Structure 1
């Protein structure tokens, strides 16, 4: 499992282009990451300034450069504006595993966009990073993300009590996992 630092992969689905997020996308990132409902279950306070968005974009670049993760900006084919992101973090090459996360602008909820992006990223991880296990850590109240993970075949393994301290409180998280052999690599599921 290795991320090539020189070339950021671009993923294409029926409706989406998943691409690198850059500084020119800061206002788009600020737009959806300043929404309380979008950040409610991802352990972040709503963004207030373009500097907050730039910090997020810098984090995306850092995890890619360090080989610990990769985060794609979600864009519609007819519009290059970043409307969310999806990707891997906390990659552990020794154990062929990683965590996956995503967020999407509220105006695009319920249209299957998150599912389409999620499936493309999962497929890329199994095929190109040779992952064996992809984990999703999801707050119990976040039923939409639970449904998203379950649609792709993730299995809830258990509850991690007080697993994270974010936004001034301890959060319980469900541990979900998807193993390579449980994912159909032969065809798109979206």
Structure 2
């Protein structure tokens, strides 16, 4: 799925979502060092995170869906990362997700990121639905998705794990 080449995906008075720069690999990797931050993420090796960073840079060049950096516009601090990708369970849907540094939890940033990513996906593709999945225990992210207009559906099973499944349709925006 080809997306117009765009360095900045979204900007508000609080945050900017933009492409990672090649020299920001360590910034990206540091996000995944906090045990609380990765608590609900699928287990991944350090090598896989390095691979992910290489892939996201390649995706920018190809104009594909990818992972993007989230920065604080007031002090340029790194907040986290968000992703949009073709949903592995249904190629007519795009899955979004995010990972935020702990100091940015509970400030409404995740909701802003979800809304921005959803709008980006609908504006730049013709897909009818955006979806998101969370760990069943991740009530914080589930609340964020519902605040962002997503509807909870029946749980999904992935790799023998039950996950909460959320969806928003284009016509709901």
Taking structure 1 as the reference length, what is the TM-score of the superposition? Answer: 0.78
**Within 5 A, what are the aligned runs for 1:128-139?**
128-139=124-135
Residue 62 to residue 154, structure 1, CA distance change in 2 (3 Å): same
**Within 5 A, what are the aligned runs for 1:8-157?**
8-45=7-44, 47=46, 53-65=49-61, 69-90=65-86, 96-157=92-153
Instruction: Give the alignment's Cα RMSD to 1 decimal.
Output: 2.5
Segments of structure 1 that go 5 or more residues without pairing to the other structure are: 165-169, 184-190
Segments of structure 2 that go 5 or more residues without pairing to the other structure are: none
Distance 1:95 1:107 in 2: 34
Cα deviation 1:91-139 (Å, max 9, x = unaligned): 69x9652101111001110111111122111111112223310011111
Aligned length: 172
Residue 9 to residue 97, structure 1, CA distance change in 2 (3 Å): farther
Taking structure 2 as the reference length, what is the TM-score of the superposition? Answer: 0.85
How big is the shift at 1:87? 2.3
CA contact (8 A) 1:30 1:52 kept: no
How big is the shift at 1:20? 0.5
Q: Secondary structure at the match of 1:147?
A: helix
Distance 2:155 2:48 in 1: 31
How big is the shift at 1:43? 0.6
